[in-house]
Amino acid sequence: MASSCQRCGAALNIGASSCPSCGAPVAPAAQPSNIISALCYLGFAITGIIFLLVEPYNRDEDVRFHARQSIALSVAWIAFSIVMGVLIAVLPGPLSHLFIMLNRLGDLALAILWLFLVYQGYIGNRFRVPVLADWADAVPF
């Protein structure tokens, strides 16, 4: 989503701190929401929660979606790590080694998904990850 100057209406460059046409300072509210949407994922649930609480970002529906999905991804990753950790500890030798491998593959897949979502936020696409997006909708704020 491109933003425009509050005073003269000229198009603003991404991340610009002042208007290239009239020189008016750009308020944080006028910062493109796609940058903030990408930032929602950078600190996982922490940045997700921050951007759901901090004005004016928490009034932007794109930002809200990505913030919630970031929280959902974090919860899924933590849950996955706990389940795998328990299985690795409890299962006998050979099976334990299998789950150590599965754990690494899962971490790799989640890291790739995380990177993909940073990019989806950046291009302003509300990409809904199956299941995770439903969890995201359930975030109560």
Footprint on this chain of Zn ion (rule: CB under 5 A): 5, 7-8, 10, 19, 21-22, 24
- Residue 90 makes CB contacts below 8 A (sequence gap 6+) with none
* In the complex, least distance from residue 10 CB atom to Zn ion, rounded to whole angstroms: 5
**Cβ closest to Zn ion, residue 19 vs residue 38:** 19
Query: Do the beta carbons of residue 26 and residue 16 sit within 8 Å?
Result: yes
**Cβ closest to Zn ion, residue 1 vs residue 105:** 1
- Residue 115 makes CB contacts below 8 A (sequence gap 6+) with none
* In the complex, least distance from residue 28 CB atom to Zn ion, rounded to whole angstroms: 16
* In the complex, least distance from residue 26 CB atom to Zn ion, rounded to whole angstroms: 9
C-alpha 37, offset from chain centre:
6
d(CA 19, CA 71): 34
* In the complex, least distance from residue 15 CB atom to Zn ion, rounded to whole angstroms: 16
**Cβ closest to Zn ion, residue 5 vs residue 52:** 5
**Cβ closest to Zn ion, residue 7 vs residue 97:** 7
Helices marked H in the chain: 33-42, 45-53, 61-90, 93-122, 132-138
d(CA 110, CA 124): 21
**Cβ closest to Zn ion, residue 25 vs residue 85:** 25
* In the complex, least distance from residue 1 CB atom to Zn ion, rounded to whole angstroms: 18
